Amino acid sequence: MAQTLTNERSLLRRQESIEKELQLLKRMRIIEWSGAALFIIFGLIWKFFVESGTSAWLILGGGLLFLALGHEARRKESIQEHADTQSTRGTKEEMAHLLDNKLANDHFILNDLRLKVGREKCWIDHLVVAPSGMFVINTLNWSGKIIGDTSRQSHTWKIRATDGTLRPARNPVGRALRERRILCNWLKGTQLIWERVHPLVILASPDADIQVTNSEKRVFTPEQAVAFINDFCFEKPILSNEEVEKLASGLNEQQEQA
């Protein structure tokens, strides 16, 4: 088993934030809908039995009804975002467990790594630090037929769902390359050269039909990514175990200070 230094936190915090928002919206829902109903009913009674014309109670009821409808739309969006966040978090945690279980104990794993170099910063889903080099991993749970090209010029991929709908998606290889560049800037002064820092995109959903051009050594399923990393174990190491641990600890420390 590998040595895991950090676990996923960003999506967990976002999930908890959405849950708090949903609790607030739930309380507001009761107040707004009840208040709107009471004001409108009282306003109608006032209009027909006390004084004709538009009642202030009706105006207040209409205002509360408008707020209630707006918050209801927001509540539906938050419920969907919570479900998406939970699904994405589960996918990344499964990938983290796979790396932890399938890599050797001289490999260090940092999940959800926040990295800041100068004015640039990024969040790396998983970073593997090994005697053979480093592996910058971007994990996605896209499902459907995924069509794209790994070249820098191809900024947009396409995802075709099972119902036939087509939606665009940003080329994830570009993100992985950017994270690799920021990491390499942090690594200046170490013995690790850029050529041994590998950007990997993981399409982790079992429902993903990967139709990506030039995907070799770029786009993987989770099992393929583990095999790719483990294949480097048969090559001559470029870092000692002490250097690997020092690099991993240094990255972990800079994250805690950021």
pLDDT at 53 over 70: no
The whole-number pLDDT of residue 152 equals: 67
- Does one domain contain both 75 and 118? no
- Does one domain contain both 204 and 79? no
Residue 89 forms part of a structural domain: no
Rounded distance between C-alpha atoms, residue 146 and residue 77, angstroms: 25
Local confidence band at 194 (pLDDT 50, 70, 90 cut-offs): low
Last residue of a domain, one of 52, 83, 114: 83
Rounded distance between C-alpha atoms, residue 143 and residue 209, angstroms: 7
- Does one domain contain both 151 and 48? no
pTM: 0.83
pLDDT at 115 over 80: yes
- Does one domain contain both 72 and 131? no
- Does one domain contain both 113 and 235? yes
Residue 249 forms part of a structural domain: yes
- Does one domain contain both 147 and 65? no
Residue 20 forms part of a structural domain: yes
- Does one domain contain both 208 and 138? yes
pLDDT digits (tens, 9 = 90+) for 202-248: 999 999 999 998 888 899 999 999 999 999 988 888 888 998 998 89
Whole domain around residue 33: which residue ranges? 12-83
Q: What percent of the chain has pLDDT over 70?
A: 93
Residue 4 forms part of a structural domain: no
Rounded distance between C-alpha atoms, residue 31 and residue 27, angstroms: 7
